[in-house]
A and B are shown apart, each in its own frame.
Chain A
Amino acid sequence: MSNLVVQGYGDSHVGAVRDTNEDALIVDPKWGLYAVLDGMGGASAGDIAATKARDVVHEYVRARRSTLAPRQLLDAAINAASAAVHGEAQRRRDRRGMGTTVVACLIDGRRATIAHVGDSRAYLLRDGRLHRLTNDHTIVAELVARGAIAADEADRHAYKNVLSRNLGAKATAAVDLNEVELQAGDRLLLCSDGLYGYAASQALHQLMGAPDQAADVVRDLIDAALRGGGGDNVTAIVIDAGTQAMPRATAILRTSGAGAWWARRDRVLHAARAHGIHRSPLCAVLPPDDAIALVAGNFADAIYHDLEKSASVNVWTFAENLAVGWLGQGGAWAPLRELLDGLGRAADAVVAELRGEDVGLAGLIEAALARAMVTAETAVGGVLAQQLRTVEAELVRHAAERAKRDAEITSRFTDQPTVPFMRAAQPTDAPGPEVQHVLDGARRRALGRPAATNDRELFMRAIEHAHRVATAATDADATVAARELFDVRALDEAGVTPLYDALDAARAAHVDAVRAVPGGVGGKLAALRRAAGAYQRLSSTIAALVVESVAPTAEQLREAAAATAALRAQVTKNERKVASLERKFATIIDDDLPAGMRFDLGLDRKRAEPPPVPRRRPSKETLR
């Protein structure tokens, strides 16, 4: 089997945020050695660690290339580098703790040996699929490998960037090694975390798959990371095994195709206007010309650049930015989908025009556009999936916090009466622009409708307050609105019934108005959900307000009943006392009166009552 022609190219960029570049790289085709190192440690020590390790590895491989097998050679070279960095860190106090990652590739004939320590990575593109060859040496990756946490938790973990291995922490390093048997057309990528951390994995895949020279691919990869924020130093090495003949169709698209598209850029904008792109809810805040220039113009530019590079990364970025901006502010999926469909139809119109001039070229562009639209939808799908993950994590966190808060409240306020209109505010989501648009329209329409109640002023106030609650961001607005709507009102049926009549009439008018507002069904449904919820909260809060307001009457009744009972007890006690005195007085009279007179005084009955009164004459002291 013959050897492959291997060509590699690497480059490094300081990034968009940092002042110094602590990455280092080796590109040595003569010895088949390629490596990326990412230094760490304060006061420029990261830079020193990476440079030192790079020099030691490079020198070690050059010196022993002919005497050691690739696996042993890379293992020994990296250990030597670790010892050197560790020794340097021990000698200088200001360099304590410095270290570096490394991912190195040594190519020997068709065999590529990959060695790595830390979180710099190696990828292999084969048959259009991108495979990752290394596992990050981070705390989180090891927790995932041990099953301690789920893979989808890794991105959110507090220690996601903390390395479990590096060069320099110790004099020796545990190096992971593997080998790949290269095939013609394979493409290897070595990179630091500044690349894969800021460029989307789909962008890496797209750019690695482009039929460009390694140097161009490296440039595009670094560009993608910088557009993704460039928060770290970015280093990439691309190694091509064998040569890839560019397909003829690709070559045509890159030249004539891209040129023909660019020449019709204005036609794309015109077709986009004809398809009503500027009327999309996504463009609601922009004047029509600006909307067309921004949305359709960026779409046309992205298609052009992708045709020029035979990639889809620009369309991907365009669609992803659109989705993040729109869905991030609570926009619905349907308008975004309609906008992308509209752009696709505008592009189709241009292709149809081109078909009259060059059928073959039009067919190639049509196929490229179909791929681009699929890429755009995949990008939007990725954003939606990310949002779902975020919402799920937020729900889990919120549920845990709420359970904890409820437990605290229950333990502190058990059996304590609560005042419902003083409850703590619960945050709710603010409506997205489309829903807000529908709610505003519904409010205007509802206010213009005849009131199905005698009190039109109260009817209109009910609509205004419900609108305020429906568009509010916290639950507290419902309680405040209910109190304002309740106003000063007699606490009886004649006072409260008109309020509920007005609320019912306002709700009926408001719901009809939401249905009548022009717009998408999704937006109307979301608006109706909020409007119905607003009336439900207003009605319930007013009822709670009434219940709390009349609570003192029950308390007053309890107090009055208790006072009555106390008085009644006092009367009973006095009655007994009077009876007792009367009995005593009767005894005195009875003993002193002659026989026959007792009946006239009516005292015989009292004498017969138990207990029998002692039949003796009381002394004065006893009576006192």
Chain B
Amino acid sequence: MTELGERVAVLRDEVLDVVAGGREDAPGEAIFEAIVRTLSAGLDTALGLDLTLHDAVSRRLAWGDTEQAILDDADRVFERLARAAQRALRDADEEMLVLEAAADVVCSTARILALSALGRASRDRAATLREELAQRRLREALDEQARNLRRLEDEVAQSDFE
């Protein structure tokens, strides 16, 4: 980890608004860690290729968190980190790097979430289509049943041997 990455990492509790040593899975944890990773890599990574961030976002979605909740967390981490860096870092160039990295990560998160929502919508649309096909088959079966019922009722009615 670079020196700047280390100095930003110590802002974790302040940025995530948790007590030191407290929650390990605080909302925004994955976003903050991705920012520290970006800083540690010296901003040289290709945008959107942080697979750990992809995994973390997917995991939260799988646990039932909404996209909007994760977006809110990312926004909060950006705002709190910007404030914390302004207070904690003395060198303007370093603060600029932190802002740049934070913007990178938050924008990547937004992109991941938008594409994830689109993917989910696409799956939902396919599932809806399957449901509609099933409904068509069921309606055909219902028609067939109605015909059988009418026939049976007629036959039972005619079988009066009194």
Interface residues of A (CB under 8 A from B): 418, 420, 491-493, 496-497, 500, 503-504, 507, 511, 515, 521-522, 524-525, 528-529, 532-533, 535-537, 539-540, 542-544, 546-547, 550, 553-554, 556-557, 560-561, 563-564, 567-568, 570-571, 574-575, 577-578, 581-582, 584-585, 588-589, 592, 617, 619-620, 623
Can you list the 3 inter-chain pairs with the closest CB atoms, starting with the nearest?
Answer: A550-B121, A539-B110, A560-B131
Q: Are A581 and B156 in contact (CB under 8 A)?
A: yes
Q: Are A553 and B124 in contact (CB under 8 A)?
A: yes
* Interface segment, one of B1-9, B12-20, B21-29, B146-154: B146-154
Further contacts, 14 of them, CB under 8 A, given A500-B107, A571-B141, A574-B142: A420-B68, A497-B115, A504-B48, A525-B95, A532-B100, A537-B75, A539-B110, A540-B75, A543-B111, A553-B124, A564-B135, A581-B153, A620-B160, A620-B162
How does the 8 Å CB contact mask read for B117-129 relative to A, with 1 for contact and 0 for none?
1111110110110
23 example contacts (A-B, Cβ-Cβ < 8 A) are as follows: A493-B115, A500-B107, A500-B114, A504-B111, A525-B92, A532-B100, A535-B103, A535-B107, A540-B74, A540-B106, A540-B110, A543-B111, A560-B135, A561-B131, A567-B135, A567-B142, A568-B138, A574-B145, A577-B145, A581-B152, A585-B156, A619-B162, A623-B160
Q: Are A585 and B155 in contact (CB under 8 A)?
A: yes
Closest to A570 in B: B142
Contact check: which of B66, B96, B145 meets A525 at CB < 8 Å?
A: B96
Nearest CB of chain A from residue B127's CB, rounded to whole Å: 5
Across the A-B interface, how many residue pairs have beta carbons closer than 8 Å?
168
Query: Which of chain A's residues have a CB closer than 8 A to the CB of B149?
Result: 574, 577-578, 581
Q: Are A574 and B146 in contact (CB under 8 A)?
A: yes
Query: Which of chain B's residues have a CB closer than 8 A to the CB of A568?
Result: 138
User: In the complex, A471→B59 CA distance in Å?
Assistant: 36
User: In the complex, A525→B162 CA distance in Å?
Assistant: 102
User: In the complex, A563→B133 CA distance in Å?
Assistant: 12
Nearest CB of chain B from residue A536's CB, rounded to whole Å: 5
Query: Which of chain A's residues have a CB closer than 8 A to the CB of B99?
Result: 528-529, 532
Contact check: which of B100, B141, B148 meets A511 at CB < 8 Å?
A: B100
User: In the complex, A577→B95 CA distance in Å?
Assistant: 75
Query: Which of chain A's residues have a CB closer than 8 A to the CB of B138?
Result: 564, 567-568, 570-571
Closest to B136 in A: A567
Contact check: which of A561, A564, A617 meets B161 at CB < 8 Å?
A: A617
Query: Which of chain B's residues have a CB closer than 8 A to the CB of A491?
Result: 118, 121
Nearest CB of chain B from residue A22's CB, rounded to whole Å: 50
Q: Looking at B95, B124, B125, which has the most chain A CB atoms within 10 Å of its CB?
A: B124
Q: Are B131 and A585 in contact (CB under 8 A)?
A: no
Q: Are A543 and B156 in contact (CB under 8 A)?
A: no
Contact check: which of B66, B71, B131 meets A557 at CB < 8 Å?
A: B131
